[in-house]
Amino acid sequence: MPTAASSRKLAGVEHALRFLDDVAPFNVVVVLRLEGDLPIAGLRVALDEIQHRHPLLQTRIATANHEYSFHFGGPGPIPIEISEPTAPDNWLAAAEEELHQRFDLDAGPLMRCRYLPNQSGGHLIITLHHTIVDGVSAVYLVSELLSLCSGQPSSGTGQMSQEGRFPALALYPPKYSGTGFFRAAASFMARQMADEVKFRWRSRGVRKAPLAGTGRCRLLPMHFPAGLTATLFEASRRRRITLNAILSAGLVAAAQRHLYPSPRAPLRHIIFTDLRPHLRSAVPASELGCHISMFRFTVMVEREGDFWSLARAIQESTLRAARSGERFLSHSMSPKMMKMILDLKAFRMAATALSYTGPLNLPANHGSFTVSGLHAFTTNFSLGPEYSALVHLFRGELWCDILYLDCDMDSAGAQRIAQDMQAILEKAVC
């Protein structure tokens, strides 16, 4: 277990996210909509308990000789801010503020909380630096915190002995270690270069995504009703196309209609993927850490094209990337890729990005309060995707938390894309 004097260097996506933090604070913001009475004293006790259990909540990030390292031990307690009673919809502005509020990385801790009470309950906003958390561990941490708040037994037992000890790179399967990694990396770079040449050739005459100096994150939460959600799952089973590919197709098609006036356009799309089950030693959800990677690929989107052909093309691109080991290669090479993107400032990473985390197994009843909703957002920056979404299944409905930048569009434009995405999906499956 990491001790007060121990440290280790950041690697892979951890390193890339810390590198990007100099451009924009790379935070994960989780918003819990609560009904009833959240015991504030219990919240303080719960925060202290989870900090004691999780080494990465007792961590700071030090910089020396252009390298970044986790230093375990030393940070003070997780801060909590209790606001005055607010209107129920004020949480959106507060969440946007949290996305842009930097952590003191040199001091830690890398988590904070803010509670916005209202007449029926309130919104608990949990902010973590992305280097120490991914979607899987964030859900576990939230569930653990809520159980402790209500005085119920938590699934966590004692300290997480292995948490933060090794980066994901140290747990790669043998095929992607040593000389095997270098051979796979060379093939990966060749494919990326070929795709770049093809993308530029096919993009002639197509709108170029804007390159603004700065932009602020704006949030747009929406959810698909239970009827549409059930129909989407049924269509996924019947057509043997993953829900991830179906949702991505709806997002890409809607973005093409509103952002790219050409009848057909090659668009870059990012799908985020979980590394945990693919590592040599699977990392449990109970251990914090940023064990994610991404598949980035180009898909030709036609305004009048067949939706299911588009969804199938996205699925095939994802499967090819997975078979080629790109989840490991992209993770390892992300620091260099991010440095290149920031140095060049010549293109956006993608037009769209989507992360589907699956069912949210979060108990609703916690004694004096209940959880009636959950939203999650991750900071973007001016060279990132133009339009992105985090999606999860909650109480039989798909919740879609959209993020865009005010330098790319206004709220009305973002709303039109979201509405068109839902309309495209409804037309495809109904």
pLDDT band at 157 (very low <50, low <70, confident <90, very high): low
β-sheet bridge partners, residue 369: 36, 366
**Per residue in 201-222, pLDDT tens?**
999 999 999 998 889 999 999 9
Strand partners, 292: 274
Task: Tell me the one-letter amino acid at 376.
Answer: A
Share of the chain above pLDDT 70, in %: 97
Residue 276 has pLDDT above 50, yes or no: yes
pLDDT given at position 156:
55
Look up residue 115 and give its two tokens.
């509670």
Confidence at 155, pLDDT banded by 50, 70, 90: low
Better-predicted residue by pLDDT, 190 or 234:
234
pLDDT for residue 391: 98
Question: Is the model's pLDDT at 1 over the cut of 50?
Answer: no
How does residue 229 score in pLDDT terms, banded at 50, 70 and 90?
A: very high
Say yes or no to pLDDT of 170 above 90: yes
Q: Which domains does the chain have, with CATH numbers?
A: 7-163 (3.30.559.10), 169-360+381-429 (3.30.559.30)
Is the predicted pLDDT of residue 363 greater than 60, yes or no? yes
> And the tokens for 176?
């992607």
pTM of the model: 0.95
The SS3 of residue 8 is strand
Q: The dihedral of CA 254, 259, 261, 262: what is its sign?
A: negative
Q: Which residue has the higher pLDDT, 296 or 361?
A: 296
Contact 342, 24 (CB under 8 A): no
CA 202/CA 200 separation, integer angstroms: 6
Mean predicted confidence (pLDDT) in 302-316: 97
The least confident of 20-34, 79-93, 258-272 is 79-93
Q: Helices 411-429 and 226-239: crossing angle, nearest 10°?
A: 50
- pLDDT at 194 exceeding the cut of 80: yes
| Inter-residue contact 49 to 57 (CB < 8 Å) | no
Mean pLDDT of the chain: 93
Q: How far apart are CA 31 and CA 129, in angstroms?
A: 15
